[in-house]
Homo-oligomer: A and B are copies of this chain.
Amino acid sequence: MPTYFVSTAAARLSAAEKQSIAAAITRIHSEVTHAPLFFAQVIFNEIPPGNHFMGGTLADPDVVFIHGHVRSGRSPEQKRQLLVRIVDAVSAATVISKTSIWVYVVDLPPTQMVEYGHILPEPGMEDVWLASLPEPDRAHIERVGK
């Protein structure tokens, strides 16, 4: 149910760092919101040199900008935890200073989100939703991330 875009300077992150960041965001999102792991999508966006500015001048090549879309209905405290824990985890996975990490999280009503071809349920209704899907779709979803 969330999608996170992670923008960094091109070639700044190794394949192993991307894997660690994707796994950490997925795990933290699930722990904080109690949504299943298969709802989480992470897409990396590599920015070629000369295309990233901060304060009107070229940005430090260490900057990581994470931009997530999550289902609405989470408490302010859940969102705060999501932000703080993602910053900590990305810094730990990359040895990039926290002062170089930016995270934005946008709320989106689940009625305006389709995943795996199906409109999403409200938070907490994931099991009911999954049980209501056609068997092949449910089997497809349950293999994701395994």
Contacts and interface: CB of A to CB of B under 8 A. Distances in A.
B43 A7 contact: yes
A23 B56 contact: yes
- As for how many copies of this chain the complex holds, the number is 3
Contact of A101 (B45, B91, B117): B117
Contacts of A45: 51
Interface residues of A, number: 69
Interface string A77-113: 0011001100100010000011111111111100111
Interface string A108-138: 1001111111010000000000000000110
B117 A99 contact: yes
Contact of A115 (B3, B37, B102, B107): B102
Given A26-B56, A50-B15, A50-B18, A87 B114 contact: yes
Tell me which of A7, A60, A79, A83 has the highest count of chain B C-beta atoms within 10 A of its own C-beta. Answer: A83
Contacts of A104: 3, 69, 108, 112-114
